[in-house]
Structure 1
Amino acid sequence: MPVFSRPSSRSMILLAVVTAAGLLATACSSGDGMSGMDHGGPASSAAPTSGHDMPGMAMPSGDGLAAESAGFRFAPETTTLPATQPSAFRFRITGAGGAAVTAFEPEQTKLMHFYLIRSDLGGFQHLHPTMAPDGTWTAGLAAAQPGKYRAYAQFTTKDGAGKAVPLVLSQQVTVPGDAPDTPLPAASSTTTVDGYTLTLSGDKLMAGMSHELTVTVAKDGKPVTDLQPYLDTYAHLTGFHAGDQAFAHLHPHGEVKGEHGGPELKFEATLPKAGDWRLFVQFRTGGVLHTAAVTLAVS
């Protein structure tokens, strides 16, 4: 165990002076409260960052399975989608008194991230809807096969005190008809898409604990170094839990520097539940967006 010596009287006096100065500085800096805050402006510079995460990125709380949290609600116009044809999914985020929220802050360059996934963790869609002046968001969905789905809205807004609130809210939706579930692929450390091979590495993941996950991208056996920026990073990684479809957004580490990303991409992986997770890795090369899927086991 560490051994500590008794501080001298002079040291204790110096510590008291420094502490008092710090308290005075804090009081002065908070004197203007939340006045003058622009709800429609860019993400606040006071948003929490770790030094490794992308600037302005805030970690939403919860597992994304609630329709309402912190006084905000995800309110779709309908919970039924047409089968095997494109459709427009409209929704609002409501606040106090059921009024539509119209002020949001950018999260990875977008004001709203919308996800749709089937109960068997297939049919993944990640879109960036547009908002009308009345606060109605519209997401243009690709055709979906029959089944039960969950729709997610990921966003950051502000509460009545002006504090940024990052949230992921969701609702179940249905596509009428019959279609068999596809068995979840077994857990693996590699996956392929469009001729690219992605390899996952890092410590064994434990539920509720933060780990660093590395994704290495290769093509034809050679490291890929021409990844282009996508949402202010070189890859976007989202996870869904098998069984209940709990949501997790894995935050990237590092900074974007030109169109020469890769081959290694590092993420902060905090998955809240044990079991199998289906991860979707999105990255861009040559102006084309690729989406790879892989199953990851969490203890």
Structure 2
Amino acid sequence: MSGTPAVPDQAGTAVSDGSPAASAQVGAASSDVGEVPPERAGTGAPDRSTVRMALVVGGLVLAVLLGFGLGRLNAGTGGTGLGGSAGGTTLTPDHTHPAGTAAHEHASVAGVDQGAAAEPGGLSVSSGGYTLVPLGTEFPAGRPEQLRFQVRDAQRRPVTRFAVVHDKPMHVIVVRRDLTGYQHLHPTMTPDGIWSVPMTLAQPGVWRAYADFTVVADNGGQSAVTLGVDLVVPGAYQPRPLPAPATSTTVDGFTVGYQGSPQAGVTVPLTFRIDGPDGGAALERYLGAYGHLVALREGDLGYLHVHPEPELVDGQVKFWLTIPNPGRYRLYLDFQVATKVHTAELTLTIP
């Protein structure tokens, strides 16, 4: 504001912004007001111009103090809002915390914790400046083959720096387009950024592979990304109908059920109870948590990967789930008992 001319107020009194140039103009303007009337001379009572000047100066001081306070308030909150950063973590609209901490959900560029407007991820091979490049998309039915791929940045360079999130730097989900044959895999990476993992696709058809990962930038910032690509198994494709909606199912002798009422566009708790033949199952941590929940949307196979509260709640696994749109979803819950991982599958309909 230095050098800004003083501006007279409506009564003709100049107002200063506090700079030396403006203060000089205030003094000159004040001298034009006139001398103190004889009847007030020597009485010690301040004239009208002096009162005005005191009010102006007091107002300027108050404005400065208010501006400083608001600036401190904004500085204290700006680093944790969307698009800011906290603890070196890049914050995107759908991943607003350091990767791998607390209950959260991954969707498009996850995650992590998702807002009500977040869309499922995995719908494209490219997102957020990163591209999934498979080194082969055709696989034989029923025989193990290596799934191999790279993640490349916007300059087509292989990405080689990934954060370890839930014990692994890369999570790969594979499912056929009729939502059968679900697999949760963890590939390994060579120094040149090529990921590989053995995989068996049991039946002919079109399959969807999702790469769920968190990239570490040169400045240490982290970006959670989910990319997807189609894989083909030649042969006669016989799709299976999606099972009817249910809140409980059985798998490998375990009964798995959930409580909660998912709604479109609302984040709600979903609590899973796992019982064995003799009662409550002794759940073990798998990939750093007591359960992992994947939800896939029927039709376009939009992807949500949800992680639970860090501890059991009354012996149950508690998630916070945001379903973005109405439709039918297939839920896949991974849990571990006696060192073995099991997957329970349920159909969910959101009206």
TM-score tier, shorter chain, comes to: 0.7 to 0.9
| Alpha-carbon distance in 2 for matches of 1:123, 1:49 | 27
1:160 is displaced (CA, Å) by 6.4
139, 160, 184: which is aligned to 2:242? 184
Partner of 2:264: 207
* Displacement of 1:209: 2.0
1:112: which partner in 2? 170
- 1:255 is aligned, of 311, 315, 335, to 311
Are residue 47 (structure 1) and residue 98 (structure 2) matched?
yes
Q: Is 1:288 equivalent to 2:351 in the alignment?
A: no
Give the superposition deviation at 1:90: 0.2
Alignment-derived partner of residue 43 in structure 1: none
If each structure's helix is expressed as a fraction of its own residues, which one has the higher value?
Answer: 2
Relative to structure 1, is the Cα distance of residues 14 and 253 closer, same or farther in structure 2, using a 3 angstrom cutoff? Answer: farther
TM-score normalised by L of structure 2: 0.69
CA 83–52 in structure 1, closer or farther in 2 if over 3 Å, else same: closer
Letter in 1 for 2:127: S
User: Which residue, 246, 268, 275 being the options, matches 2:327?
Assistant: 275
CA distances 1:17-72 after superposition (whole Å, capped 9, x unpaired): 65455567789xxxxxx9xx89xxxxxxx727886559xx7447642211101110
Instruction: Flag the 1:273–1:22 CA change in 2: closer, same or farther, 3 A.
Output: closer
Q: Counterparts in 2 of 1:101-250, with a 5 A limit?
A: 101-159=159-217, 162-203=220-261, 205-220=262-277, 222-224=279-281, 226-250=282-306
CA distance in structure 2 between the partners assigned to 1:134 and 1:68 by the alignment: 20
Number of aligned residue pairs: give it. 271
Moved more, 181-190 or 215-224: 215-224
The equivalent of 2:13 in structure 1 is none
Alignment check: 8 A CA contact 1:112 1:128 kept: yes
Superposed CA RMSD in Å reads 3.3
Amino acid of the residue matched to residue 259 of structure 2? S
Report the AA paired with residue 148 of structure 2. R
Given the superposition, is the C-alpha separation of residues 20 and 220 from structure 1 closer, same or farther in structure 2, using an over 3 Å criterion?
Answer: same
C-alpha contact (below 8 Å) 2:333/2:345 kept by paired residues:
yes
Q: Residue 211 of structure 1 aligns to which amino acid in structure 2? A: V
Structure 1 residues 131-140 or 152-161, which shifts more? 152-161
Secondary structure of the residue aligned to 1:177 is coil
Inter-CA distance 100–48: structure 2 relative to 1 (3 Å threshold): closer
Distance 1:184 1:131, change over 3 A: same
- Report what 1:265 is aligned to: 317
Q: Is the 8 A contact 2:176 2:182 kept in 1?
A: yes
| SS of residue paired to 1:96 | coil
Give CA deviations for 1:127-161 in whole Å, capped at 9, x if unaligned: 00000000000021124210011111000003566
Q: Which residue matches 1:298?
A: 350
Following the alignment from structure 2 to structure 1, what is the Cα–Cα distance between the partners of residues 160 and 119?
Answer: 23
Match of 1:81 in 2: 139
Please list the CA deviations of residues 162-209 of structure 1 after superposition, one character each: whole Å capped at 9, or x if unmatched: 532101100111100013111110000101111110111112x22232
C-alpha distance in 2 between matches for 1:248 and 1:170: 12
Mark the runs of 5 or more structure 2 residues left unpaired by the alignment.
1-58, 79-84, 90-96, 106-110
CA distance in 2, matches of 1:89, 1:103: 20
Identity of aligned residues (%): 34
Q: What is the CA-CA distance between 1:96 and the residue it aligns to?
A: 2.6
Q: Report the TM-score, using the length of structure 1 for normalisation.
A: 0.80
Change (3 A) 1:48 1:154: closer
Contact 1:218 1:263 in 2 (8 A): no
The Cα offsets for residues 102-146 of structure 1, whole Å up to 9 and x where unpaired, read as 000111111000011101100111100000000000021124210
Cα 1:15–1:48, aligned 2, differ >3 Å: closer, same or farther? farther
Determine if contact 2:103/2:320 at 8 Å carries over to the other structure. Answer: no
